[in-house]
Amino acid sequence: MLLGVNVDHVATVREARKDIEPDPVKAAALAISGGADGITIHLREDRRHIQDRDLKLMRKLVSSVELNLEMAATDEMVSIALKVRPDMVTLVPEKRAELTTEGGLDLKKGGKKIKKAIDAIQKKGIPVSLFINPSSADIEMSKELGAKMVEIHTGLYSNAKGKKQMTELKRVQKAVKSALDVGLLVNAGHGLNYINVKKIAAIKGLRGLYIGHSIIAMSVYTGMEKAVSEMKRLIS
């Protein structure tokens, strides 16, 4: 199972002072040394953390592992993706006021725009993943829109406790199976940490897990390489 490490939060700390450090590109290099199978960055429309410069340098650095660009399905972002050519693109919803991504894409409302982005990106040989809620309807629509893969939103599972968490886990498990049944590659992520990751990692058929905040938080105490290595151990 792949581990994609999101380094957005390193850029968030940097942008708090509009300084040159900490550098998310250097953090990505250390994550790879720690065993990351991929690096994820989210270039937001408002550039609140990752900057265009980061993406360009990241493309030069990340050659031995997967570079996953998270982005909104806008003309500007599609143009950037086609120019930079990441190894994969994950289309995600964006709200200017949100602290972090709050849920999966609204495929019913934004289907036409999303399909346009999928077609343009995949035409150039870059696979597209859709960040979706653990819903059979969203999985069916993702297939209809032409995406190669999906990333199941695990936020509700991650935030739940007790019986509620088990209910949310079953939703994720069911969603993974449904996606596999229709021929989609399946990833999962959002809110996963060193305590709750094992039950998600145990789901058969998952291609990879995409984790950011908990790894960056742990790296403050232990260093990036050790933080990534420990997450890899738990997943394995």
Q: Which of 9, 49, 70, 151 is catalytic?
A: 70
Query: Which of 9, 49, 153, 190 does the annotation list as catalytic?
Result: 190
Give the residue from 235, 159, 151, 158 showing the smallest Cα distance to 201: 235
Can you tell me the distance from the alpha carbon of 195 to that of 57, in angstroms, rounded to the nearest whole number?
33
The yes-or-no answer on residue 45 being catalytic is: no
Known catalytic residue at 15: no
Hey, what long-range contacts does 224-227 have (CB within 8 A, 24 or more apart)? 224/27, 224/30, 224/31, 224/33, 224/34, 225/30, 225/31, 225/33, 225/34, 226/34, 227/34
The catalytic residue among 42, 94, 151, 153 is 42
49 is catalytic: no
Rounded-to-integer distance, Cα 21 and Cα 14, Å: 5
Catalytic residues: 42, 70, 190
